Structure 1
Amino acid sequence: MSTAAILLCALALDAVMGEPKWLWSRLPHPAVLMGNLIGSADRRFNHGKAQRVKGTLVMVALGALALCFGLVLSKFGFVVEIILAAILIAQKSLVEHVKAVADGLRISLHEGRKTVAMIVGRDTAQMDEPAIARSAIESAAENLSDGVIAPAFWFLLGGLPALLLYKITNTADSMIGYRTPRHEKFGWTAARFDDLLNLIPARLTGFMIAASYRLLRKWSEIAREARLHRSPNAGWPEAAMARALDVALSGPRSYDGTVQDFPFVNDVGRKTIGAQDIDAACRALWITWAFFAALVFALWVFGL
């Protein structure tokens, strides 16, 4: 069975099943196991001198472990590959988490803040409805790239070994890849390697969003705004999503009590947004997913 066919089955399985609570309430999710491993390495090695060197060696060890596990697991056949790929591609769960913010907002501002706090790392206690909606839509765009397109892209290129290498790197970046006194040096390699692995998938995600909404004529504008983003990769899907929904994203926000004056992405877009725009973002996630699935299907048909 070709890699494209396996991936297409995995995309379909994830779209149908998502992350069933009955299963992951009884078994540890692979992402949780990765997180536990990274957390243990952080506690054991992130102290004393040469923190950047230690962090680099930890990432080399984690990457080698992921590659080895991937090689071993791939020997069990395409059924195992389909199941594992579906588990590590998070389309349905992403849509569910983003939609929960819209549902929360429809109940009350408090519920909206509570649900968006589950998917973003910024301060949410004082957010108004547009800020909550922007946060949810930005998370949708960024995680479409990080949680769906990037793992699928690397699976296409290198099978389970490449997929597991990507996932453990992305998990490490989310845990230790911050510019904080504790992690700025130790997590430097994790953050830079994650940037590298997402370089193509982030741009591919932005391109597919734009293509799905017939916005390729505005690609130069999307690219210009993407390059203004504080992240080298997140700006691409975010800028494309902003154009697709005709909303302004990013802008000022607060982290740990400090307001940071980030520029708006698509500043001419609507700034007064709410739950209905989060719903539109959820539709965009599925439209882009379908576009990608069609590309994978074409790869399978033409034997590429």
Structure 2
Amino acid sequence: MTTALTLALAMMLDAVAGEPKWLWSRLPHPAVLMGRAVGALDTRLNTEPGARTKGLAAIVLLVIGAGMIGLALAQLGWVIEVIIAAILLAHRSLIDHVAAVAQGLRQSTGEGRRAVAMIVGRDVSTATPDQVARAGIESLSENFSDGVIAPAFWFLIGGLPGILIYKVVNTADSMIGYLTPRHAEFGWAAARLDDLLNWVPARLTGGLIALAGGVTAQWPAIRTDAALHRSPNAGWPEAAMARAMHIALAGPRSYHGQMEELAWVNPDGRQVIGPADIDAAVRIVWKSWGLALTAILFVGVLIWIF
């Protein structure tokens, strides 16, 4: 079984099964275990002096540990590889969480806020329906890259060790990579390595969304819009989605009670959006996923035959 075909099976299993609650209510999810490891290193090593060096040491330990676990698990055969890779992909759960935002908005603004608060880090307690929908679409676009295309890419490159290393680095970035006083130094290595590992996948995701949305001719504008985003990577899928849907994304939002005047992505796009636009974004992501799966299957079959 080729790596590409193994990945294709894992993508289909994830799309069908998602995150079974009966399983993860009884066992800790791998992401939870990774979070515990990151938290333990944060507690033990995040001290001055030398917090940045200690943070680098922490991320090296996490990468080595994930790689060794991946190598060991890969010896158990392709069926185990498919199952573990499917667990580490997050397409179906992402779709379900974002679809819940549209469903919530159709009931009330409050329900929409509660649903989107589960998937974004910004303050949405006073968000308007437009802001709730925008937050949902942005989360969908960015997390399609971080949660689906990037882990799939690193599985293709490095098998189970590759995807596990990516996931543990991404988990570390989400926990200690923010520029808070506590993690400005200790989380520096995690944040930089996460940026590096997402550099290619983010641009691939932007290309998939542009292709699915029929806006590949607007790639120069997408590239320009992506540069407006504060993240070196998240702007690519968001800019492609904004152009595909003719809407404006990003813009001002509240974090920890303070408004941040962030630039608009596709500033000339429509700013009045709602649950129907979330549904449309979900359809584009499904098409993008289908394009990725088709390409992976094609490569896998070619390698298997020849």
**Normalising by the residue count of structure 1, what TM-score does the alignment of the two structures yield?**
0.99
What are the equivalent positions in structure 2 for 1:194-209 lying under 5 Å apart?
Answer: 194-209=194-209
Distance in 2, matches of 1:280 and 1:20, equals: 26
| Aligned residue identity for 1:143 | N
Residue in 1 that maps onto 2:42 = 42
User: RMSD across aligned C-alpha pairs, in angstroms?
Assistant: 0.8
**Alignment match, 1:293:** 293
Aligned to 2:121: 121
Shift of 1:289: 0.3
Match of 2:172 in 1: 172
Tell me what 1:262 maps to.
262
Residue in 1 that maps onto 2:21: 21
Identify the residue that residue 139 of structure 1 maps to in structure 2: 139
Contact 2:213 2:245 in 1 (8 A): no
Secondary structure of the 1:81 match is helix
CA distance in 2, matches of 1:25, 1:110: 28
Q: After superposition, what is the alpha-carbon deviation per residue over 1:216-258, rounded to whole angstroms, capped at 9, x for unaligned?
A: 1100000011011100000000000111111110000011111
User: Residue 303 of structure 1 aligns to a residue in which SS?
Assistant: helix
Secondary structure at the aligned position of 1:48 is classed as: coil
- Cα shift at 1:48: 2.3
Structure 2: tracts of 5 or more residues without a match: none
Question: Which residue number in structure 2 is paired with residue 5 of structure 1?
Answer: 5
In 2: Cα distance, 1:215 partner to 1:285 partner: 14
1:70-89 paired onto structure 2 within 5 Å: 70-89=70-89
Task: Measure, in 2, the Cα distance between the counterparts of 1:20 and 1:245.
Answer: 32
Percent identity reads 57
Deviations 1:177-203 (A, max 9, x none): 000100010000000000000000000
Q: Quote the offset at 1:298 in angstroms.
A: 1.1
**Alignment-derived partner of residue 238 in structure 1:** 238
Looking at structure 1, the residues matched to 50 and 235 of structure 2 have their Cα atoms a distance apart, in angstroms, of 32
SS at match of 1:98: helix
Q: Distance in 2 between matches of 1:195 and 1:282?
A: 25
Once residues 298 and 2 of structure 1 are traced to their aligned partners in structure 2, the CA distance between those partners, rounded to angstroms, is: 12
Distance (Å, rounded) in 2 between the aligned partners of 1:31 and 1:263: 32
Aligned partner letter, 1:283: R
For 2:191 and 2:100, the matched residues in 1 are separated by: 29
Aligned counterparts of 2:268 and 2:291: Cα–Cα separation in 1:
27
Distance 1:228 1:191 in 2: 19
Structure 2 contact 228–264 (Cα < 8 Å) conserved:
no
Instruction: Compute the TM-score of the two structures, normalised by the length of structure 2.
Output: 0.98
SS at 2:303's partner residue?
coil
Q: What SS class does the counterpart of residue 158 from structure 1 fall into? A: helix
- Cα displacement (A) at 1:301: 2.1
What SS class does the counterpart of residue 272 from structure 1 fall into? coil
Question: Across the two proteins, how many residue pairs are aligned to each other?
Answer: 304
How much has 1:215 moved relative to structure 2?
Answer: 1.1
Contact 2:68 2:161 in 1 (8 A): yes
Q: Which residue identity is paired with 2:218?
A: K
Structure-2 separation of matches of 1:94 and 1:245: 19
Distance 1:168 1:239 in 2: 27
1:151 maps onto 2:162 in alignment = no
- The amino acid of 2:294's aligned partner reads A
